[in-house]
Amino acid sequence: MKRNDVDILEVSTDSKDCGFDEPKEEKRSYLGSKNDKLGGTKAPEIIEKIHEDAEGEETVNTMKMKIKKPEEERCENMWRLKTLNPSNYFYIRHRTSLLCLPDPRFSVIAMAIRKLLALSRRRLVPSGHRSTSTTSAATLATPAAAAPSLAKPPVMPYDRLVQEVRSKIKKLDDPDPRFLRYASPHPDLADHTPILAAPETRVTTLPNGLRVATESTLASRTATVGVWIDAGSRFETDETNGTAHFLEHMIFKGTESRTVRQLEEEIENMGGHLNAYTSREQTTYYAKVLDKDVPKALEILADILQNSSFDEKRIERERDVILREMEEVEGQTEEVIFDHLHATAFQYTPLGRTILGPAQNINSITKEHLKNYISTHYTAPRMVISAAGAVKHEDLVELVKKKFPKLSNNPITASQLMAREPAIFTGSEIVFSSLTTTVCDIQVRIIDDDILLAQFAIAFSGASWTDPDSIALMVMQSMLGSWNKNSGWGKHMGSGLVQRVAINDIAESVMAFNTNYKDSGLFGVYAVAKVSHLFLISYEILCSYHRSVIDWYTGRLFCVKRPKHIGVVGPKPDCLDDLAYAIMHEISKLCYRVSETDVIRARNQLKASLQLHMDGTSPIAEDIGRQILTYGRRIPVAELFARIDAVDASTVKRVANRFIFDQDVALAALGPIQSLPDYNWFRRRTYMLRY
């Protein structure tokens, strides 16, 4: 029976009390229950043990089991002990099994068991009905004994542990949507010393919504302190695109109390380093200084964020600086590819805009634009003061209270702004005739024969930061891997994509990428075609060939430089075809053929990469600030590793079928790419699975 959800072992000397018939055979039998902790393979061992200890007495006779119906699974179950004498039975109710043994009075061990059962029975019996001797089931069946106890049963430590576990499981079943919630968050380690020795990340939220987060390593002699702001280029409009990056430049050009010269001298006199960067969703200003200069560095950060002067002459001078920076970026083909990849993947949405903005916007940004951006987006609830290294949390909190009194407490969050203009993935490609032309179609292909390298990026819609499958995509990125010809190794790497590219010698480099945003992402591969197969045929020699040969050369080898009368130039025939096929084959293979060995290798590589990235106070401060803005907390390394270890081959195939199988793709390409397959070819390869 049960009282207050506590199992009670019931003892009886009458077979009819327990509602079972007498055994009709002496042959010992056993029926196990896989859910019975006392059943299975252990029950026969228990029987043999009692039989050996009771040597010389009456032996075990019969054993049966009564399997109750599913609807009665909450009821009590029974182990029954019997002897050859039908009038002398001993019963124990527990689980779903029935055990028949000699009378316990004939065995010392059985007597000990009987005593324990009596004590467990006595614990929940009212004090007025307790006795010093073992009580039979018939006696306990009286109305007085069956009456409910007035006193509450004691709460055992195990019961409290069960309640705590149930409450934690309930929280895991319904987690905060801001938190990363994939697989098991509990680390499975033999030694928890690394977890206990890891420094604690402390977070304090001020009344105005500003958050202060620190990770103290007092043994360090340096520290990094910075401001992470939940604002970037995606919070701009088409007319103001480029304001966030322009503001990053102007923020260091003097304040109401410091000129540019004074600001630079203070940083140099400390021997520190002051820097900033802007992304599509975040803006960061940070300083790396000695431990004794942390208050001074925080004061400078507070001054430039709250009291910038934005001198008109400085604004005009900075326009030229940014325009020159844009020219430098246009020469970095990888930056160009990914900017155009965002433009085609997120067409007509904020994520499709570039960080620097178009040149016409740079020429039209004014002082009012900068101030409006600060008042709208540089608010306390959207900012995090992050520090790592030789800092004390309490001291930093007091400094922040004194140095940041002017921040607005506008309650509008970045999520509310993104809900107005969400990021929508559009599968397409954009075609350009050169680097300087504008978008003329729904294709992105920059055909420029003066560029010797053929480069392209293929991307699928990815996961957001808080998507449950974001961890699996990180593992898939490690499975595809990255490789560069100059690295000197690749043919023996575990990645199938790297092996194909390195062995066939069809590319200069390949790189899998996984970019996360708050409501979307990009997952794919960036590749650069091999240039060792470039060759030149003079125009005079080409003209001496038959017309069919000339047509073949001009059709297969991509271009004829007629203005310079040089001839035909281009990579090896079908080089881009082979490279495109290798990439799409290995990506699509994740949907149906994944080995556990590859997953384990990718998990280990991912964990090692994350650990190596956290070497230094600046990466730690950056990680704290980003995670506080993204998840609302700092995810411990042990928890993150536990989530990574929970990814297996079946998980990879499930996630790949969600994001890759028969899904639209975005494509951006640059250089001599005439032989690159068209968009429909790439789209078909997402569901044409070849073994």
- Which residues are designated catalytic? 248, 318
C-alpha span between 246 and 191 (Å, rounded): 50
User: Do 455 and 333 contact (CB within 8 A), yes or no?
Assistant: yes
Q: Which residue reads 């604690």 in tokens?
A: 200
Phi-psi map region of 110: left, alpha, beta (phi>0 left; psi -120 to 50 alpha): alpha
Q: What are phi and psi of 447, to 5 degrees?
A: -90, 105
Cβ(527)–Cβ(507) under 8 Å?
yes
SS3 230: coil
Tokens of 292: 């004794």
On whether the CB atoms of residues 474 and 514 are closer than 8 A, the answer is yes
Which of 533, 489, 483 is CA-nearest to residue 509?
483
The encoded tokens of residue 690 equal 């070849």
Q: Are 341 and 334 in contact (CB under 8 A)?
A: no
Give the SS3 label for residue 21.
coil
Beta strands in 411-566, from DSSP E residues, in sequence order: 445-447, 455-461, 482-484, 507-516, 521-529, 535-538
Distances, alpha carbon 305 to alpha carbons 228, 249, 300, in Å: 12, 12, 9
How far, in Å, CA of 645 to CA of 640, rounded?
A: 9
Q: What is the DSSP letter of 435?
A: T
Tell how strand 211-216 and strand 383-389 pair up: parallel
Q: Give the C-alpha separation, 332 to 340, whole Å.
A: 13
- Nearest in space to 113 (alpha carbons), one of 34, 42, 65, 54: 54
List the structure tokens of 264. Answer: 């630079």
Q: How many CB atoms lie within 10 A of CB 159?
A: 14
What SS3 state is found at 50? helix
In terms of DSSP bridges, do strands 665-671 and 535-538 run parallel, antiparallel, or are they unpaired? unpaired
**And the tokens for 395?**
């001291």
Gap between the Cα atoms of 212 and 198, Å rounded: 19
Non-local CB neighbours of 63 within 8 Å, separated by 6+ positions: 28, 29, 30, 47, 98, 99, 100
The closest alpha carbon to 689, from 571, 546, 568, 585, belongs to 585
The token pair that represents 526 in the structure block: 């960036």
Backbone angles phi, psi at 308, to 5 degrees: -65, 140
What does the angle CA 408 – CA 414 – CA 419 come to, to the nearest 5 degrees? Answer: 135
CB of 554 closer than 8 Å to CB of 568? yes
Helices (H), 438-564: 470-480, 496-504, 539-543, 547-556
DSSP conformational letter for 257? S
Considering all CA atoms of the chain, what is the largest pairwise distance in Å, rounded to the nearest integer?
119
- d(C-alpha 342, C-alpha 446), whole Å: 15
Q: Could you count the other beta carbons within 10 Å of the beta carbon of residue 7?
A: 13
Q: Closest by alpha carbon to 302, among 402, 207, 222, 194?
A: 402
Which amino acid, one-letter code, is at 29? S
At 401, list the tokens: 């209270």
